[in-house]
Each structure stands twice: as C-alpha cells, then as structure tokens.
Chains A and B, each alone.
Chain A
C-alpha cells in the first residue's frame, strides 16, 4: 500500500487518507526532520544508516535586510564557522604586528580588505552547503528546501520559495529549527540594523560599528571587527556574558577595552534613524540610561544587534499537534530522551529548554536519539560538563561550574579555587601583555578535591580546554592534575 501510495503522489489523496489517523505502514517517511542544521542533519544522516526513509526540510526566511543562505543551519552559515574564520582574520592581524619583533619586515602600513575576506569565507561556506547536499543525496535522505509546519498529528505541510505546498506524512518527527536573532522592538531596528545573520555576508565593510548586546555573539563580533581595524563600540545594558563566570567575563571585557573596543555600559538604544544612505550609510542611535534619565546620541556606519536569539517554534503549527512550548521563551521542554509531550515528536538543538545552545551538543543529541529510535541503543546524551569556548580576542575556554555557581551549590567553604596568571612564551618577544592570560580550576573539597570547574583565558583556549573536558569526564581530581607532567613550553601546562 505504501508503494501504491507513492505512485499516486497526489496531495489530495494524501489528505483524504490522512483525514483519519493513518495506518503506520502508509506513512511517506519513517522520519521527517524539520530543520537542516547541526542537530537535524546529524539525526537524518544517522537514521539513513539504519535504512530508514528520511526527509529533511530546511528553509531560511530572509532577514529584514534580505540575507539568506543554504543548507547547514546556523553553525555553518551564520555561526561558528564564519565567526571562527573572521576571528582568525583578526588574530592574523595581530600576528602581523608580532612578526616584526620576530624579524619579519614589510611595509609599516597594513590594511585589511573586508571584501577579500568575506568572499573567501562565503566561498568556503558555499562548499559546505554543497557538501551537505551531496551527502544527503548519497545517503538517500530526501531533502527539500521548503518551510515545514504541522497540519496534523502525522502530517507536515512544506511550502517552497515559490509558494507551492506539498503534504508529507511520517511516523516520527524531529524538530530542529534552531533560532534567529532577536530585534529590540524600537523604531528603526528592522529597517536599519543588521544582525549576525547579515554580518558574515555583508557586501561592504561595516565601518564604524555599534554592537548592541553583551552576549558572546556580541563580544566575539565586536572583537574581530576591532581586530580588523574598525572603530567598534559595544553598548551593554547590564553585565557581560550573562550565565558565564563573571570573574572571567570581566577579564574579557577589560582586555577588549585595552585593545581598542569602547564600551558604553548601562544604556539601551531607544531609536535608530538614518542620517545618510549608503553602503555603509550613517545611522544615528539614541540611547537611554538604565539607571537614570540620561539620553545620549551617537553616529555609526553600522548597528549590529546581538541581544539574544529566539527559537523558531511559534509558526510551525505546534499548536495543531499539541506540542507544548514555553510560552515566554518559545523553547520546547523535552524529557531526557529529547521527546516532547507528544510521544512521536522529538526535538534537538538550540530550541530545547534548559539545554546548551552548541553545535556539538545538537549533533550528539541528534545521533544518540536516532540510535535509540532505530538501533536499540539506550545511551542518552550527556549534557553534564560540556566544554565551551568564547572566541573573543582573548579566548575563553570553560568546562563545568563557574565560580559563582559552585559557591551557590556547594558553599564557599567547600570549594577551593586554584588560579594563576601566565605569559604565553610567544608573547614575550613582541612584548605583549604579561598579566592578562589566566587559568583557574574549582575543586570540590568534600569529594576528594574533584575538579568541578575549569576556566582558561588565553590563546587557543579551545584547543587547551578540550582535553581537560575529557579529563573532567573521567573524574579528574586536583591530585591527579598535580601528578600530570606539563608539556613545555605551551600555555596548557599552566
């Protein structure tokens, strides 16, 4: 009956059959994944390994500025990948300066060309988009560039760019639609401001930029823009990097300040107006103090909003199938098997309530979920002690508890914090800051001085942190740390 059903391929017939609850073996697919990002693609590819019939629906609603992109989700197109590459461009700018002290000679004046960088980055992303399409094809996963939404318990309506609608049914669904940047809701924000969704493909140099926000997205973008030689200001409502260890967050802010980024603290924009058109043009930003009545104004070529991200869960028909979402945040609560309140509907990635918004977490969750569904596996995604890195000019790697959270959970008298500043050897000859890099570990005195938090501020923080995360997974104690010999001379030996 599935065969006959297929040959018809008539949406009308499908509707008729699906008017009632369809029989399991008459579904179009075993699994439909809504969202072709890190979590969605990992799940889809894994399911195909078990010879399941899988479909991936991916669609990018253009930004208010008109930016759009291909298959792969946030990480590949407007997240981790372009971010790290532009961060690398900024680091190379610093390397150029260092290299003179190491004997390299070239012209005094060195300028950066935004278009050269952006083109290279976009070309690489394009190759990844292409690669994903090829992989899906090779693994026989059906891919449609269409906007998916639920219209019935087992039915999805897929609308493509041209507005053509098709209906598909599946036994199970995985929602992996991710998030998009939030706007301020003030006059001029959607018309004149850009977000990270636009930045990485901006067809002109952003020039003098105001970054609004204090998230890692804000600080990372501000960091590399300044590193490329641009005049950058960050407007912060209250604290930096909410949710991260504040001691470390402040050190990151200090470093950025000392390296050319201006900060306007305790202000929020209330309107954005265009003074001059252009690429870039000139924008006037009016901002109000959060602690009083003071109003300030400033002019910038570009205003980049990085105040947070909202899940894409409100317009995908979840109400029609009864999937609960947190009304305030839009996030989907799931059990520890990534299952929503509707048994045959699952969710992975940034849209999950109470989980980390990271690519590797989404990938891990997606893969393990599919293995449980189709390969009889029982392993659940381990969300404990997930390491992360913020790629600010001075990079920050962390795993486990922040100092505040550790104190809150265990009590100040029960934790011991070991810390040290260090001077990377590579910074000595070019006389770079000798007291900025920093590392600290937080130990639980009552549990054999087990390491429950690891924080490092310095070059290659991600590379350094990864191995420590593995060690923390193995129950690392301070004694074992002390007994491990350092590799000399590297930053990680601190």
Chain B
C-alpha cells in the first residue's frame, strides 16, 4: 500500500527538526519521532535534542554564569562597590536555565504544529525499510510508514563500564544540567572538550572541581581517528592550544590530575563518593572523596534500539555510527542519516542543521546541492574560550610539509583585562598559511574572550579563499581583540618574541 508520510524523521534534535521543517515547507507530509531514554540517573527532557536540552544551550548559559562571576570581580576594579563575600546559588541558575530550555521545547512543538509536522513522542525501531514501529509511554503501539526516512537520533554519553561503581554512582552531562541541587565538589573525568567546558564553569561558580585525565587534553577524540583528513575538526590535535586552555584553567582554580586512571567509585556512609585511581607517573594508587563524579569519556551513537540490522543499514563496526555518502544516504535506498549519528562528520549543531535542510531540499525541492563540511568553524567554551576554523598546525604540517607552511602568531592582552588586572598569559592567536605565492590561509586559532564572535567572520573569509595579504590589508577595529588577527606579523619560524606591545 501507499506510505503514510513522504518523510519520517527519527530523532527530534538539531538535524532532525531542521530536516522535517524544511521538508514541510515544500508541502510534504512529514512526521517526527522523538524519544528520550532516561539516563541511568533518571534524567529526561523534552523535544529539541542534545543541543537544546543537554548540550550547547545549557552549557553556554552556565558558562555565562561563570563568566559573570569573573565580571563581578572585575567590576570592583572599575569602580563598582559590591559587598563581600559574593555567593552563587546553583538552584537559582539551574532554574533560570531549565526554564529557558523548557521554553525552547515548547517553541519547537509549536513550530512543528504550525508547519503541520506530526510529532510522536515514541521510541521507534525499524520493521522494514519503510516502516517504523514504537511504543508510547502509555504502552500503545504506533506504526508509521514513509517513502523516505531520516535517522537523526544523535548520541548519548558513554559510561566507562569497566570501572566499578561508574554507572551506579557517576553522572554525565545528561544529568549535570538538570541537577536541582549543586553538584558540590566535582570530579569530571574526561578526554573531550565537554569535560573542560563543564569543569570550567563549575569552577567559575565557586565549586571545588578536579579534572582527571588519562593523557593529553583534547586528544584522542575518538571520532577524529575515523574522520578523513578533510573533515578533521581543527582542535582535535591542537597540542599547543589545548595546553594554553588548560593552563588558564589551572590558574583559574581547576585542579588537574594528569595521567591518572580511575579504578573504582564507592559510596560512603556520608553519601559522598570515594574515588580510587592509579597515578601512572608515580605508579601509585590514590584516593579522594567527592560529592559528584561526572563522566565525559565520549559519546556513543544512539542506534542500538533502532533495529538497523533488520533493514541492512550499515554502521562502522568500531564506532557504531551510520555510514553515509556525500548526500547523507545510507546503504539502504530511501534511508538517510544526519547529525552526530553519522560517520566522519563533525558533531556540531550547525552542521546537522545545514545537512538536514540541504537533504530536504534535495529530496523535495529539486536541489542538487551537497553539504560542504570543509572549514567548519567551532568554539570550545572554556573559561578562556578557544575558537578555530580550518586546519590545526599539526594537520597543516601533515598535509603540506613544515617547509611549505608559515605560522603567524601573537600573545596579546585584551584591553579590558588591564584595569581589572587579569592574567592574559594564555591569550593567543595563530594563523597557519601556505608559504607559496598566494599565501592562502589554512587555519585560524584564537584563545581569548568571545572567541566564537571573533572567529565567525574570519570563517567566512576562509570560505572565500582568504590569503595572508588580504587579511593584512583589512584594517583593524580598535580597540578589540579580533583586530589582533589583522596585526599578525611574527612567524614561529623567526623565533622572535610574539608578545604584542602597545598600539
């Protein structure tokens, strides 16, 4: 028989909703399935996916709360008289953030309704290439059929299953943003940027925070090793930049336990958690107690319950991610995938949205435009933010050879740090260019306040094939941090002191 819908999207996150809404614009019959399996701690949330509920949005808001804490300190230098001591109350912040997120959930539901997209709050799984069935919370079974299906179920945080007590006593980012009470003394254990961002804002709001890391920060980003060189996220192998970011965090108050491997987590009578770990450098076993242990050891694609084997959708055996081609098509005709679930793509909201929209335009709008994953800019919202676009220095060397690239760099001091006597040691910008005639810019990296705002426009320039001479012809805006990019003159090769001095 005929399929009920033109398009069924499984997963109501950034990619899924963008695809669904775009398809609806073409007058198509569209349905969206969204379901949140509660975390081991029981946390759950509404429509919108990771970004809205347990990702970008609450993360940036809590990062802002931490930045405001610094602003309070700065303000005194600028003449504001504030009574000491200043307190932070987690529940006030959490409520503000959670209320905003809920308004977004609501907004998404209204949008789907306005665009006549049918929304099912069910957990779907494939019965055949055009049929998905699922159970509502009440236990009622629903069957949906569609000509085209897009899988956009995203990912969920991984638990280190081999560590005793990890699952029972630890939380993840899925839980952190929904805590009603303060996490207290926290130990985020990490490899990814998620952990640094969380550790950063937890420290910023006054919590005793320790980060435990196996090796070098911002390295071993699991997905990176499976990405083609072309799609490599710029910050994954950024040794220098990662060091600067973590150095700043250390001076800011976050504790780091480097080269330590957690062994077990036990609950104490006081309800606190006792963590035991192996210190690889000293070859000793150490222990300490915390109020909260948060795992940020990677995210896994949410494909297990989809029953992909039944329809033959191929996944990468190591990562579990769905393999797609340039047009987001899976190994099964009429089944597509977008977002964090796809192999070899950056795990970012804007790329998922763009890919979802373009897919809908190709399916229903006679477009043939493919998604361009090249030069995707991104930002890590640590206390001192890190924004980048294009190739890392290491990747550029790997691609072109160190003789063929030139790296311009500078240590600068944001004007606003002067009066507030803030340490700007790690404020840094570097640009990686080809050395040959045109000197095309391969990558730009910036550590400092508002890194995202700074990098965005330059990402456009790089998309236009910007060259070093063109950037040098661009007049700076004074006084800003971004102007430092237009003032880059010292190369790493020269060995000269790259500290900016005065106007």
Chain A interface residues (CB < 8 Å from chain B): 38, 41-42, 72, 75-76, 80-81, 84-85, 88-89, 92-93, 95-96, 98-99, 101-107, 110-118, 120-121, 124, 128, 131-132, 135, 228, 358-361, 363-364, 382, 385-389, 397, 425-426, 428-430, 460, 462-471, 473-476, 480-481, 483-493
Contacts and interface: CB of A to CB of B under 8 A. Distances in A.
A487 B454 CA distance: 10
Q: Is the interface on chain B under 10, 10 to 19, 20 to 34, or 35 or more residues?
A: 35 or more
Contacts of A358: 475, 478
B280 interface: no
A159 B400 CA distance: 59
Contacts of A88: 78, 415-416, 419
27 contacts: A81-B479, A92-B78, A103-B88, A104-B65, A110-B81, A113-B80, A117-B79, A118-B79, A120-B77, A131-B501, A132-B502, A360-B475, A360-B486, A387-B474, A463-B450, A463-B454, A464-B453, A466-B458, A467-B482, A470-B457, A471-B460, A474-B464, A480-B464, A485-B459, A487-B455, A488-B349, A492-B456
B79 A112 contact: yes
A487 B376 CA distance: 8
Contacts of B478: 75, 80, 358-360
A485 B74 contact: no
B480 A484 contact: no
Contact of A429 (B61, B379, B466): B61
Nearest to B104: A428
A102 to B, nearest CB: 4
A463 B473 contact: no
Contacts of A112: 79-81
Given A85-B419, A110-B80, A467 B456 contact: yes
B74 to A, nearest CB: 6
B477 A104 contact: no
B485 A470 contact: yes
B87 A105 contact: yes
A81 B502 CA distance: 11
Contact of B475 (A80, A364, A428): A364
B61 A487 contact: no
B9 interface: no
Given A382-B473, A429-B96, A470-B470, A487 B79 contact: no
B57 interface: yes
A474 to B, nearest CB: 4
From B60, B72, B80, name the one whose CB has the most chain A CB atoms within 10 angstroms.
Answer: B80
B320 interface: no
Given A135-B502, A488-B349, A98 B415 contact: no
Contacts of A135: 501-502
Contacts of B378: 487
Nearest to B457: A467
B456 A487 contact: yes
Nearest to B483: A466
Contacts of A110: 80-82
Contacts of B270: none
Contact of B458 (A80, A382, A470, A481): A470
A80 to B, nearest CB: 5
A460 B456 CA distance: 12
Interface in B79-133: 79-83, 86-94, 96-97, 100
Given A75-B478, A106-B72, A120-B77, A488 B51 contact: yes
Contacts of B452: 487, 490, 492-493
A269 B69 CA distance: 44
B476 interface: yes
Does more than half of chain A's interface fall in helix, strand or loop, or is it mixed? helix
B79 A102 contact: no
A463 B97 contact: no
A131 B502 contact: yes
A467 B485 contact: yes
B70 to A, nearest CB: 9
Contacts of B65: 99, 102-104
Does more than half of chain B's interface fall in helix, strand or loop, or is it mixed? helix
B461 A471 contact: yes
Contacts of B82: 96, 106-107, 110
A34 B103 CA distance: 60
A486 B349 CA distance: 9
Nearest to A477: B464
From A101, A115, A386, A492, name the one whose CB has the most chain B CB atoms within 10 angstroms.
Answer: A492
A490 B274 CA distance: 38
A99 B456 contact: no
A449 to B, nearest CB: 13
B363 to A, nearest CB: 19
A99 B72 contact: yes
B460 A92 contact: no
B289 interface: no
Nearest to B96: A429
Given A101-B96, A102-B65, A488 B56 contact: yes
Given A112-B79, A112-B81, A460 B450 contact: yes
A110 B94 CA distance: 24
B205 interface: yes
Interface in B415-447: 415-416, 418-419
A479 to B, nearest CB: 10
Contacts of B81: 110-113
A359 B486 CA distance: 14
Given A99-B72, A120-B77, A363-B503, A467 B87 contact: no
A466 B476 CA distance: 7
A30 B493 CA distance: 33
Query: Nearest 8 A-B pairs (CB), nearest first?
Result: A467-B457, A103-B93, A492-B456, A117-B79, A466-B482, A490-B452, A471-B460, A467-B458
B155 interface: no
A113 B79 contact: yes
A458 B453 CA distance: 11
B473 to A, nearest CB: 5
A464 B397 CA distance: 29
A485 B350 contact: yes
Given A103-B205, A360-B477, A480 B460 contact: yes
A191 to B, nearest CB: 29
A103 B96 contact: yes
A93 B64 CA distance: 15
Interface string B395-429: 00000000000000000000110110000000000
B306 interface: no
Given A92-B78, A470-B466, A104 B475 contact: no
Contacts of B376: 485
Contact of B72 (A96, A385, A488): A96
Contacts of A105: 86-89, 92
Given A88-B419, A124-B419, A426 B458 contact: no
A41 B503 CA distance: 9
Contacts of B83: 106-107
Nearest to A494: B456
Contacts of B458: 466-467, 470-471
A92 B470 contact: no
Contacts of A388: 477
A3 B479 CA distance: 43
B465 interface: yes
A438 B481 CA distance: 22
B428 to A, nearest CB: 16
B348 A462 contact: no
Given A485-B348, A487-B350, A85 B415 contact: yes
A38 B477 CA distance: 14
B75 A95 contact: yes
Contacts of B461: 467, 470-471, 473-474, 476
B74 A128 contact: no
Contacts of A96: 71-72, 75, 80, 82
Given A429-B100, A485-B350, A487-B456, 12 more contacts: A75-B503, A84-B479, A85-B418, A98-B68, A103-B92, A111-B80, A361-B475, A389-B477, A428-B61, A466-B486, A485-B348, A485-B351
Given A88-B419, A103-B93, A117 B78 contact: yes
